[in-house]
Amino acid sequence: MAGRISELLAHGAVDAVAIGAPDRIALTYGELRILVEETGATLAGLGLTPTDRVAIVLPNGPAMATSFLSVASWMAAAPLNPAYKAEEFEFYLNDLGARLLIVADGVATPAREAAQKLDIQIVELVENASDPAGMFTFKACPEVGTPASPQSDDTALVLHTSGTTSRPKIVPLSQKNLAASARNIAHSLHLTPEDKGLNIMPLFHIHGLIAVVIAPLSVGSSVTCTTGFNALKFFNWLANENPSWYSGVPTMHQAILSRATRNPDVISRANLRFVRSSSASLPPQVMAELEETFGCPVIEAYGMTEAAHQMACNPLPPAARKAGTVGIAAGPEIRLMDTVGQFTPPGGIGEIVIRGENVTAGYENNPEANAENFPDDPDGGGRWFRTGDQGQLDADGYLSITGRLKEIINRGGEKISPREVDEVLLDHPAVAQVVTFAIPHPKLGEDVAAAVVLADEAEADERDIRDFVAERLAKFKVPAKILILDEIPKGATGKLQRIGLAEKLGLIS
């Protein structure tokens, strides 16, 4: 069984399409494998070994995908968000211990200055629009060497946690972790060489890298790599590329649905076998509207960086998929644990814990975080990873996420799941998007607030929406404050972020 990325890339037929892009010639598996070999030789010529770390700062697109695959096949790739500021690049490059930085030829980025300040070597990646999608060379790198092949336990991908409430933690993911996760995803989605995925996710994020690039390539499928999510371009991509599936976060799906009525002809010709959603909870209302719009099943999955993305996934038909759940275990073991490290009885609510081949062995240089987040098995088995999510398993093994433990609102001792309030608010006919979050309260500690975006041409005010919620939820769960916005602030990957939202929206002075 493949335990390294280079082995995963060996399955595609030589002349079969591996990587495509809008308005570009496609790159075959044979060409991709040659590119990976040549990149390894170039990196070896620069003096790098399998234990070295290579930061990649490139715009979304096919070259970002192939450079990641090429680097990660030989050493540790560290994709960084191109939108970072100079101080952020300096922090991440230094924290990672990067030996090399890859940037696009002629493209200005503060990453260059940060690397120069840290005395990190820089190489420029050159693309030619007439070449196959994802084909590239490195500028001014004439020396080549013989690269050493990494072992399955060597690090292939290094990412940071979001750091919303503390300093970001370094998550090293091994060749074995990535290979296991790719297999799990390909298996749960029944991917075959006939499938074609459409990547709209950013490729500095675990969701796009593993679910939409490595997983399909591991079974000989093809991937069309776009320049990043754009609701205005999505239906052109859908029409011209004719994918069999795509994966996104809920806010992307909602933006797509907002333009669906303007593109009925494209939708009628679409050949989507399924739509996948991950990285945040998908409201059941959005799932139902997606299925009705595209006439295919919508598969909600549960992912996290520490698990090399996927942990659970709703199965495809004819098996049951349950709206409001993230499905069944799809690779790693899943249990629920209480606050003292004991497993929760059947039917109970507890923190979701996982273990398996796709799960990182631990955070880097962070013994305190490892002691807290990787507890021993109370029954004497191997260690588990605490996800920080609260959930419940039903009798069929389907997992429902009841909230992020740090996001649960504590209103004078009453615990409120923001997701529960979200789902009620989305039932209001005028509400298109919502995020429920905590705001400070002088006596109760925290209270409930919500930000909403109204549907096109819909009208509603705060009192109308509050009255609607008050008829459906207990009084202590009704938002004390509802903000009606044109747009809700999102993170770099398009996810709605509850923590820190009160401050961003000016509700904390």
Quote the pTM value.
Answer: 0.88
Contacts of residue 314, defined as CB under 8 A and 6 or more positions apart, other chains included, come to 299, 300, 301, 321, 322, 325, 326, 327, 328, 398
445-454/481-484 β-pairing: parallel
CATH number, domain 409-504 = 3.30.300.30
- The three state secondary structure string of 116-164 is HHCCCEEEEEECCCCCCCCCCEECCCCCCCCCCCCCCCCEEEEEECCCC
Residue type, 402: T
Class of domain 5-192+199-225: alpha beta
What pairs with residue 136 in β-bridges? Answer: none
pLDDT in tens, the chain (509 residues): 568 999 999 989 999 999 999 999 999 999 999 999 999 999 999 999 999 999 999 999 999 999 999 999 999 999 999 999 999 999 999 999 999 999 999 999 999 999 999 999 999 999 999 999 999 999 998 889 999 999 999 999 999 986 544 678 999 999 999 999 999 999 999 999 999 999 999 999 999 999 999 999 999 999 999 999 999 999 999 999 999 999 999 989 999 999 999 999 999 999 999 999 998 889 899 999 999 999 999 999 999 999 999 999 999 999 999 999 999 999 999 999 998 899 999 889 999 999 999 999 999 999 999 999 999 888 877 899 999 999 999 999 999 998 888 888 988 878 888 888 999 999 999 999 999 999 998 888 889 999 999 998 899 999 999 999 999 998 989 999 999 999 998 877 777 788 888 888 888 86
**Predicted local confidence at residue 162, as pLDDT:** 66
Give the domain ranges of the chain: 5-192+199-225, 409-504
Provide the pLDDT for residue 382. Answer: 84
- Distance (Å, rounded) from C-alpha 475 to C-alpha 20? 52
Alpha carbon separation from 252 to 201, 317, 401, 433 (Å, rounded): 9, 24, 20, 11
